[in-house]
């Protein structure tokens, strides 16, 4: 498992509840690196494109309306195994079913509002990052603490 990037969206409920800093801190404290971030209002068109796989599902219209109802914080995070790590940190989809210690388990109870979106595969991450970030908005940079996050003694960070 190598270095990878993933898209994380702090959804309208996270923004409105003032949880952006707490959630972002969890990802950074885990050792993930922020390589892109923007506070934005998602348009109906962007939400429809992002959630197009759900177009035939009964919750689609409500999901698009929810995601466009308030600003969101969109982030590109980087790390070894970042996608799986973020998914694990987020917890089960529904806050009422998410384990304590996860973002949704600690901050959520709703089965409608689940605070955070994270890419579920490398293919999805590539597609989603391309939807929300343009060329030059994801920045490759060296973090001074990298050697304290990963064992860099071999050929690959571990």
Known catalytic residues are 117
d(CA 28, CA 16): 21
C-alpha 132/C-alpha 24 separation (Å) is 18
Q: What SS3 state is found at 74?
A: strand
Cβ neighbours, 10 Å, residue 5: 22
SS3 label, residue 153:
coil
């Amino acid at each position: 498992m190598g270095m990878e990037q993933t898209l994380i969206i702090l959804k309208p409920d996270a923004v409105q509840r003032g949880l952006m800093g707490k959630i972002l801190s969890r990802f950074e404290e885990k050792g993930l690196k922020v390589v892109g971030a923007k506070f934005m209002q998602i348009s109906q068109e962007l939400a429809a494109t992002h959630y197009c796989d759900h177009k035939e599902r009964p919750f689609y219209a409500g999901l698009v309306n929810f995601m466009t109802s308030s600003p969101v914080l969109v982030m590109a995070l980087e790390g070894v195994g970042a996608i799986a790590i973020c998914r694990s940190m987020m917890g089960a989809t529904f806050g009422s079913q998410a384990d304590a210690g996860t973002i949704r388990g600690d901050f959520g109870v709703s089965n409608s509002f689940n605070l955070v979106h994270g890419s579920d595969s490398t293919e999805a991450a590539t597609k989603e990052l391309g939807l929300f970030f343009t060329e030059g908005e994801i920045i490759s940079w060296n973090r001074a603490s990298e050697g304290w996050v990963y064992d860099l003694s071999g050929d690959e960070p571990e």
